[in-house]
Amino acid sequence: MPKLNLNLFIDDEYEYHEAPHRKLRSKASQKPKRTRQQIVAELAEQQDVIETYKFTYRASRHERAWLIGSLGNFYEQQWFSDVLRLVKGGKEATVYQCLGNTHTGARLLAAKIYRPRMFRNLRKDHIYREGRASLDANGNEITEDGMLNAIRKRSAYGLHLAHTSWLAYEYKALQVLHAAGGDVPAVYASDDNCILMEYIGGEELAAPTLSEVELEREEARALFGRVLNNIELMLANDLVHADLSAYNILYWQGEIKLIDFPQVIDPDQNRNAYKIFERDVIRVCDYFARQGVPSGPRRIAADLWTAHNRRLHPEVHPALLDDQDEQDRAYWDKLVDEGRRG
């Protein structure tokens, strides 16, 4: 098996980026030096590598190169023996169904591969990063000055580290919640661009998200309770999902699994934590209200929060507002009008 070194990221629009290198480089040297054509040519030279991986899932050549670049190490470590199909391309990641090897005992695995373009979607990522240390691929806090500087400056290397940190947070949250008995997929392994986890669904069809399912009222009532239990379990483990909704809950054979945790926040370390938490609860309640189970989301959020000895901080802190964002600017103007700017 040839050792892979596809030093490329390819995003879903098939733009090419130089992969960030591990050591800090000067600004000038961070600019891509190769043209797109040269990079494509370089890929073509690696044709033999691509052909070595005979996956059942027939991706385009570009996607295959990206897949191999992201999953090659796990394949070599025998976590899985085949990529069977594409499950779904989300906004920030693409999930594939893989055939498990002996490591996990599971026949099928889900591989969640992150896209570099997630940075374009996470304009407000500072809101979630507040109070969160940056983690390396092993889930350890980054403390080295050069690395912290790169993250602050958002250099190519810094963005790479920040990207890895998102993923490490997702892995850690899944690990903690699974160990605590939460309804989340078990996680098996991760590196700086991919998480291997329990696959939810059937051979042919992956589990739908709750948003795609209409429930009978009785079942809805039971599942609503179950989701609230999971939200409470998260709080007990100092976690707020921060993007929870029926779109990030899978439904399979009467069971639910919460997914998609990279943006988790610590309820005690983020000044917007309560607002973010309340938004999660409201979105969940809105879905269940549509399934015939009305509730009082704001009250539920407040009760859960205070039951865990937390105080309510309903306001967005001005330091976290984004001056490029229209809504944030409007909120700032409101604060000024109310004479609360301080």
Question: Which amino acids are annotated catalytic?
Answer: 243, 260
Q: Is 263 in the site for Mg ion (CB under 5 A)?
A: no
Which residue from 185, 220, 267, 274 is in contact with ligand ATP, where contact means CB under 6 A?
Answer: 185
Q: Is 200 in the site for ligand ATP (CB under 6 A)?
A: yes
What is the CA angle 255-79-114, rounded to 5?
70
Q: Is 197 in the site for ligand ATP (CB under 6 A)?
A: yes
CB-closest chain residue to Mg ion: 260
Helices 156-179/217-236 angle, 10° precision = 110
**Chain centroid, CA 152 distance in Å:** 21
- CA atoms of 82 and 272, how far apart (whole Å): 42
Asked whether the beta carbons of 166 and 40 are under 8 A apart, the reply is no
Residue (64 or 257) nearer to Mg ion, CB: 257
Q: Is 94 in the site for Mg ion (CB under 5 A)?
A: no
Q: Which stretch, 20-28, 147-155, 199-207, 295-303, contacts ligand ATP (CB under 6 A)?
A: 199-207
Neighbours of 203 (CB within 10 A): 11
Q: How many residues bind ligand ATP (CB under 6 A)?
A: 22
List the interface residues with ligand ATP, window 247-276 (CB under 6 A).
247-248, 259-260
Question: Token pair for residue 170?
Answer: 């997702």
Q: How many CA within 13 A on the CB side of residue 57?
A: 20
CB of 14 vs ligand ATP, minimal distance in Å: 18
CB of 42 vs ligand ATP, minimal distance in Å: 28
CB-closest chain residue to ligand ATP: 90
The three-state secondary structure class of 342 is coil
Q: Is 91 in the site for ligand ATP (CB under 6 A)?
A: yes
Q: Which stretch, 62-70, 77-85, 192-200, 301-309, contacts ligand ATP (CB under 6 A)?
A: 192-200
Beta pairing partners, 114: 93
Residue (187 or 273) nearer to ligand ATP, CB: 187
Q: Which stretch, 58-66, 91-99, 153-161, 285-293, contacts ligand ATP (CB under 6 A)?
A: 91-99
Q: Which residues of 275-296 are buried (b: 16+ CB within 10 A; e: fewer)?
A: bbbbbbbbbbbebbeebebeee
Q: Is 260 in the site for Mg ion (CB under 5 A)?
A: yes
Asked whether the beta carbons of 86 and 96 are under 8 A apart, the reply is yes
- CA atoms of 98 and 112, how far apart (whole Å): 10
Q: Is 88 in the site for ligand ATP (CB under 6 A)?
A: yes
Residue (192 or 260) nearer to Mg ion, CB: 260
User: Residue 46's binding partner, choosing from Mg ion, ligand ATP, none, with beta-carbon cut-off 5 to 8 A by kind?
Assistant: none
- CA atoms of 202 and 97, how far apart (whole Å): 10
Q: Is 110 in the site for ligand ATP (CB under 6 A)?
A: yes
Q: Is 206 in the site for ligand ATP (CB under 6 A)?
A: yes
Q: Is 280 in the site for Mg ion (CB under 5 A)?
A: no
Q: Is 207 in the site for ligand ATP (CB under 6 A)?
A: yes
- CA atoms of 256 and 251, how far apart (whole Å): 5
Q: Is 248 in the site for Mg ion (CB under 5 A)?
A: yes
Which residue from 69, 72, 116, 201 is in contact with ligand ATP, where contact means CB under 6 A?
Answer: 201
Could you tell me which residues come within 8 angstroms of residue 18 by beta carbon, excluding any fewer than 6 positions away? Answer: 7, 8, 9, 32, 33, 34, 156
Q: Is 79 in the site for ligand ATP (CB under 6 A)?
A: no
* Cβ-based burial of 318 (10 A; exposed 0-12, middle 13-18, buried ≥19): middle
Site residues (vs ligand ATP, CB under 6 A): 87-88, 90-93, 95, 110, 112, 185, 197-201, 206-207, 209, 247-248, 259-260
Site residues (vs Mg ion, CB under 5 A): 90, 248, 260
